[in-house]
Amino acid sequence: MAANTAKKKRNKRIILRIAIPLFISILVVGILFNQSFHPNAFRELHFTGRTCIGIILALLAFAIQNAATSIRFRRLSDNQISFRGGLRVQMMQEFTGIVTPSSVGGSSLVFLFLSGEGVNSGKAAAISFSTLFLDQLFLFIASLLLYLFAPHEIFLGGAELFGVGVRITFLILTIIVGIWTLILYIALFRKPQLIGAFIKGIFRLRLFRRYSHKVSALIHDLIMASGEMKKMPFSYWMELFFLSAVAWCMRFGIAIALIWGFSSANSGYFIAFLKQFIIWVTSLISPTPGASGLAEYMFQYYYESYFDTASIALVVAVIWRGISAYIYLLIGGWILSVKAPDMGLLTSTEHKRKHLLGAKRKQGKEELLS
């Protein structure tokens, strides 16, 4: 009975987490629709063969993105976890990224998800920081090249003043990502003790305090795992970087496939692809969960010219967010509600209950033996 009550409470929290970003997105899209809607807008929205192919390509890009990330988790764990296990970790990483502000992201809890797949805590932490390093490295290189060599007009969109502000923000964020990438490199390959100090700070938080007695062993395992990673050949890291690049390109390819499917334009798709970097990087400062609201607005702002009306651009934006973001809410919510005990995602009350049950079972075995 108590277990069912705890499960119901956990499911309610999951539903609330899912509802918040959805509500923000619906609110912003509703406001934008109110500003740009006219009665004849949807008469021009036709689901042609090209539209269906565009949606299929978007779903294919989604599948490749998650497969590449899952393989990366598997390779980083030295094949300790299965492809399916890597996929679960990827889904949970994206889920937490959607239900937390973009500035927080979903990478902060990856080590817990990896631990739930049987990876020891130190190696799980090393893998978490490695994936973060690879992602940030790709974003920094690509964003820097875009800022230096892409035409200035790519930032402008429909309003020059807003575009100039986005360009400045993009440069500042690119520099911050570069600094963060350098810190991760030093922490992983030069001074893993820095990550150890960071983890000690995390375990002082109330949420993780119950695990604080394990922090010394975790840091020891982390330093050992980091030492093993430093010995890996350059080709190993190039393979991982390639998987990271594929995952990011496919993530951005979802939007391009939908734009191609719903618009009648036959050119400008490379520029549309580059604009995905701008949308993603500027979304990092969003205070809303998963950049809800801001992402839809930026999509309409930068891609409105590809469609006949602004309303169609918003419809495509909603489909884009559904495939690239909100599908993770459904999958992650299901994993949390069904697999939480297996992945180590129990509340403090549930942990205490589990500990008491284990103690009672142990006591019962000892009495039988005696």
Q: Measured at the alpha carbon of residue 277, what is the angle toward residues 151 and 330, in degrees to the nearest 5?
A: 155
Rounded to an integer, what distance in angstroms lies between the CA atom of residue 239 and that of residue 245? 10
Per-residue pLDDT of the chain (370 residues; tens, 9 = 90+): 555 555 555 556 656 655 665 666 566 656 655 555 555 555 666 778 899 999 999 999 999 999 999 999 999 998 999 999 999 999 988 888 877 765 555 566 787 888 888 888 778 888 888 898 999 999 999 999 999 888 877 887 666 666 778 888 899 999 999 998 988 888 788 877 777 777 777 777 666 666 666 667 667 777 777 777 888 899 999 999 999 999 999 999 999 999 999 887 777 889 999 999 988 888 887 777 767 778 888 888 888 888 877 778 888 888 998 898 888 888 887 777 766 545 544 433 444 444 444 444 545 545 555 5
Chain-centroid distance of CA 142 in Å reads: 18
The residue among 111, 118, 126, 135 whose CA lies nearest residue 76 is: 126
> What residues form DSSP beta bridges with 289?
101
DSSP 158: T
In this prediction the pTM is 0.79
